[in-house]
Amino acid sequence: MKDFNLSAWALKHQALLMYALSALLLAGLFSYTQLAKKEDPDFTFKVMTVTLAWPGASAREIEQQVTDRVERKLQETHWLDNVSSYSKAGEAVIFVTLRDSMPPAELEHSWNQVRKALSDLRRDLPDGVGDPVINDNFGETYASIYAFTSNSLSNAQLAAEAGKVREELLRIKNVSKIKLLGVQQEKIYIEFSSKKMAALGIDPLLIATALTAQNAMEPAGELLAHDNITRLRVSGDFSSVKSIQDIGIKAGGKIHRLGDVCHVYRSYADPAEFKMRTQGRDAISLAISMAPEGNVTSLGLALDSEFIRIKKLLPADVTVHQISNQPAVVKKSISEFMSALLEALAIVLAVSFLSLGLRAGLVVGLSIPLVLAGTFLLMELFGIDLQRVSLGALIIALGLLVDDAMIAVEMMKVKLEQGYSKLHAASFAYTSTAFPMLTGTLITAAAFLPVGLAKSSAGEYTFSICAVVTIALLVSWLVAVVFTPFIGYRLLKAADAPTADHYREGFYARFRVLVEGCLDHRKSVLALTTLLFVMAVAGFSKVEQEFFPPSERPELLMDIWLPEGTPFSTTERIALAVEKELQNDVNIINYTSYLGGSTPRFYLPLDLPLPSVNYAQIVITSKDSSAREIVLKRLRKMIDTDYPDSGLRISRLENGPPVGYPVQFRVVGTDPEKLREIAQQVAGVVKKNPDTKNVILDSNEKIHILNVEVDQEKGRSHGLSSQEISRNLQAFLSGLSVTSLREAEKRIEIIARAESAERGDPASLSQLNLYSEHGKSVPLNQIAKISEKEEDGIIWRMNRRPVVTVRADVPDDVRAPDVSAAIDSQLAGIRATLPAGYRIEAGGAMEDSSKAQDSIIEILPLMGFLIITLLMLQLKQYKQVTLALLTAPLGIIGVTASLLAFNVPFGFVAMLGMISLSGMIMRNSVILLNQITQDLDEGMEHWDAIVESTVRRFRPIMLTAAAAILAMIPLTRSVFWGPMAIVIMGGLLVATLLTLFYLPALYATWFKVQRPR
């Protein structure tokens, strides 16, 4: 087995090999057609939201009685990273965030644990607290969103039409769920004048009682006669608004028709809580989610086909707008990446043909489809989709997967020129280079290991870099030792006679002189290299830092955050004013507003806030990325001019796990007032930085309230408790839910409330008549005093401690981590004066970037161990292993120079490129060191072995490096991949040259090799 030669075996079984070659190509082609296509790789959203309502409670009461109890219980959750929350009047929202290091398989178990904890906690919550509403599908993405508008149909009629379309679309294969948005809830309002009610002696609460009694659905029994059961039905339930108006209300010995004493009408919820608009018109939308096993491009074709049919069936006045089309985005993205892949393929083939000649270049070129076929086959078997990261990884791999084939073909060509037979030459490469190539391949793959094993959202997002590159490299080695010798055997020609040693003439003769000069002046070479390394390390501090670059998608997101306590009508008014700025802009394809909430997740890495009446979001789709920048510049100027410090923010979409505001600082402590004071100081430092804008605090607003101080004695004397007073006020002002009108499948809530003139007039509040259970009335001002006060609008907490977050944006020409780091150092003075129990933490891009980098750094020791083990197995000497390791850091010289020269920031993806670069560099070192060892084993002098090995290995090392470097050119145009491409190109170019000059000089110094005399 020791002498087994896989290449020779393959050449002896050419029929079997031809069958395997054909089968591999067909299997790879089929697998490619079956690969799921997506825009971005999936990553697990490890966040659950828990919402609890307690009507009537203040933010402080919610925090103390509800939020704290829930948080304390949820802190026992396995894999918990943190529990954060906000409490505001009547509502608590708790965010349960699990650790990045949690395996995705553990997610469901953790969420079940949270559900059980909430179930156990239910009896400990105050009376009146509703059941928790749980959302553990926070990251669900909707493949397509369609909006429906009409000039004549009401919202209810339009919703009915959209509902019919929804039923049709649910029949399409791989449609998982369809969400209906923008539907306004219909209500029937009974509005009364409290003064009129008092004059007539009618208790409004008795109206509610009468309506409930008449409309109740109660069994009326059944008759058993002979062989039949006859059920009784009692009439009285409401069938229309008129049937409600005709109800008789008895008071003062008279019966009053309800429609005569109250205004009874059907309308929509007022005030509204959520609305949707597209192109400046009210709309209803359908957000379509795809099944996990689905193919988004196939789903897009199915939807297009179905909507052609559906549009013909809709009323003529209904217009359908596709406001989000992920299938088209994915198709365009994959088309662009496949073009880049073909461009990289053409570059690699050009390098092969120009350097090796037509026939040898063709052998290398024919190996590429085989490697890609094997890669696609294994990608399908391992469930790796075609998406942004895996396609980029394929282009990276393309420059590496020809390395082994180039080395094998170059060796075959040399041996043929030396007079070897075609069979002997084809199998010789296996004997001399197969295992060094395998070691180099495994070292390169090991350098990508931190990406694959990183336990973070960013690591999960970029996992397919490691997977695809590793698969491609292993397949490339197998192709190089099995199929490449076979193809070379068929295509390469044997030399008519042995040629002269071409390593002694032409370029190689001049290169030999250069190598010998490096050995003669080894100290100068080592000193110069060390100086360059030190300068590169020092210069790296000048490189800008970032987490992930912004997306290249054409959408912009405008967030409108108004102060807590702002009514929906004000939010709507400002959103409509902004919409007018978007009309008739030739660079905008469409714009859609979500009033009271955010867009459905049409793009996986979105940072979406929860619904709130003081919030609106506008999604603006421009023609392309160039038009996007024009629109962005104009709207930022508009915001700065017309809405300074008004809570408006516009941003591009993000790449990678969502961050939100790029600059964030959390102030954590105990006393909310002290927190706000410290947070204002932090905000002052942030505002002074010239590179920040839109500086806000997430919880700095007090809200205005009217405090009703009840004289309990007077209240009791009139038969009124605080509960009854609250119920009266609720009925007058916000409305009291009485019963509902049952209309086909709909239930329309019936609400009794005071007329708008009384509801909107604070002055008339004190004159409101309150009714006791005995039917007697008394004005509010006779039993209570009304005073104006302020209270907390919203209270944020992190791990059960109050927190105020200072947030800011940065201009496009600076990087958020750099700005955050500068501000963080300037906060030292404030930190020094903080009371015990208070602290300031950095968040935003700086925190997320640090977490992602830490997850990579944790794997570096394992990567180092594997690489050292592989080097020991191949080189078998500590000194040679050390020499190979000493070449790995040389890449930073080219990395720093290229990043600074092209003004490219260093982010998470670039860091992955720099780590993987070390493997590529050591791969070349292994090839050279192994050749030196082989020459020494053949009896060559130490000096000659160093020089001749470097000369002979020059072409394969330079060819493989050139292929890897030039294949990166298409990626430099990508915002996402550009930094990594620049890192690998610059680092590998410089490191390859140093491998050919620095490594021989270092080797000669280490082993004290002198020129023979």
Distance CA 406, CA 383 (A): 30
Task: Give, as one character, the DSSP assignment of residue 646.
Answer: S
Contact 636, 558 (CB under 8 A): no
Distance CA 744, CA 593 (A): 31
pLDDT at position 547 is: 77
Strand ranges in 660-711 using DSSP code E only, listed in sequence order = 663-668, 693-697, 702-710
Q: Helices 978-1006 and 942-966: crossing angle, nearest 10°?
A: 180
Region 737-765 average pLDDT: 83
E strand or H helix at 326: helix 326-356
Distance CA 340, CA 148 (A): 38
Contact 397, 430 (CB under 8 A): no
Distance CA 548, CA 540 (A): 18
Residues 6+ apart with CB under 8 A from 358: none
CB atoms within 10 A of CB 6: 14
What one-letter code names the amino acid at 217? M
Q: Which residues of 147-185 are buried (b: 16+ CB within 10 A; e: fewer)?
A: bbbbeebebbebbebbeebbeebeebebbbebeebbbbe
pLDDT band at 774, cuts 50/70/90?
A: low
Phi, psi of 670 (to 5 degrees): -120, -45
pLDDT above 80 (res 456): no
Q: Tokens in use for 397?
A: 């791999």
Residues 6+ apart with CB under 8 A from 910: 899, 904, 979, 980, 982, 983
Q: Helices 358-381 and 388-401: crossing angle, nearest 10°?
A: 150
Task: Give, as one character, the DSSP assignment of residue 810.
Answer: -
pLDDT above 60 (res 316): yes
pLDDT at position 161 is: 93
Q: Tokens in use for 992?
A: 């390859």
pLDDT at position 975 is: 83
pLDDT at position 817 is: 83
Q: Where are the alpha helices (DSSP H) in 521-624?
A: 522-540, 568-582
Residues 6+ apart with CB under 8 A from 774: 719
Tens of pLDDT along 177-216?
Answer: 999 999 999 999 999 888 888 888 887 877 888 888 887 7
Q: How distant is the alpha carbon of residue 334 from its chain centre?
A: 19
Residue 565 backbone class (left: φ over 0; alpha: ψ -120 to 50; beta: rest): left
Contact 797, 86 (CB under 8 A): yes
Tens of pLDDT along 582-618?
Answer: 998 999 999 999 999 999 998 888 888 888 899 999 9
Region 631-658 average pLDDT: 86
Strand-pair partners of 860: none
Tens of pLDDT along 944-977?
Answer: 999 998 988 888 888 888 888 888 888 888 888 8
Distance CA 271, CA 285 (A): 21
pLDDT at position 375 is: 93
Cα within 13 Å of Cα(549), Cβ side: 17
Distance CA 645, CA 658 (A): 24
Nearest partner of 698 among 721, 670, 726, 672, judged by Cα: 672
Per mean pLDDT, which range of 476-490, 518-532, 679-693, 712-726 is the poorest?
Answer: 712-726
pLDDT at position 319 is: 93
Q: Where are the alpha helices (DSSP H) in 176-325?
A: 194-200, 204-215, 241-245, 258-261, 296-313
pLDDT above 60 (res 499): no
Distance CA 82, CA 46 (A): 11
Distance CA 265, CA 252 (A): 26
What one-letter code names the amino acid at 653? L
Mean pLDDT across the chain, nearest whole number? 86
Q: What is the DSSP string of 376-423?
A: HHHHHHTT--BSHHHHHHHHHHHHHHTHHHHHHHHHHHHHHHTT--HH
Place of tokens 């087994």: 4
Distance CA 105, CA 430 (A): 42
- At 681 the three-state DSSP class reads helix
Region 909-922 average pLDDT: 85
Distance CA 98, CA 106 (A): 10
Distance CA 982, CA 989 (A): 11
- Hey, CA dihedral for 431, 435, 438, 444, is it positive or negative? negative
E strand or H helix at 264: strand 263-268
- Hey, CA dihedral for 648, 652, 656, 662, is it positive or negative? negative
Structural domains in the chain plus CATH codes: 1-34+357-499 (1.20.1640.10), 46-138 (3.30.70.1430), 186-216+235-268+703-792 (3.30.2090.10), 503-542+877-1012 (1.20.1640.10), 551-653 (3.30.70.1430)
Distance CA 737, CA 752 (A): 7
Distance CA 676, CA 695 (A): 14
Task: Give, as one character, the DSSP assignment of residue 203.
Answer: -
pLDDT at position 233 is: 67
pLDDT above 90 (res 294): no
Region 404-409 average pLDDT: 82
Per mean pLDDT, which range of 135-139, 632-636, 686-690, 818-822 is the poorest?
Answer: 135-139
Q: Tokens in use for 20?
A: 């395997």
Q: In percent, how much of the chain has pLDDT > 90?
A: 31
pLDDT above 60 (res 500): no
Residues 6+ apart with CB under 8 A from 853: 908, 911
Comparison of pLDDT for 595 and 460, the residue scoring more = 595
Q: In percent, how much of the chain has pLDDT > 70?
A: 97
pLDDT at position 1 is: 43
Cα within 13 Å of Cα(77), Cβ side: 34
Residues 6+ apart with CB under 8 A from 281: 149
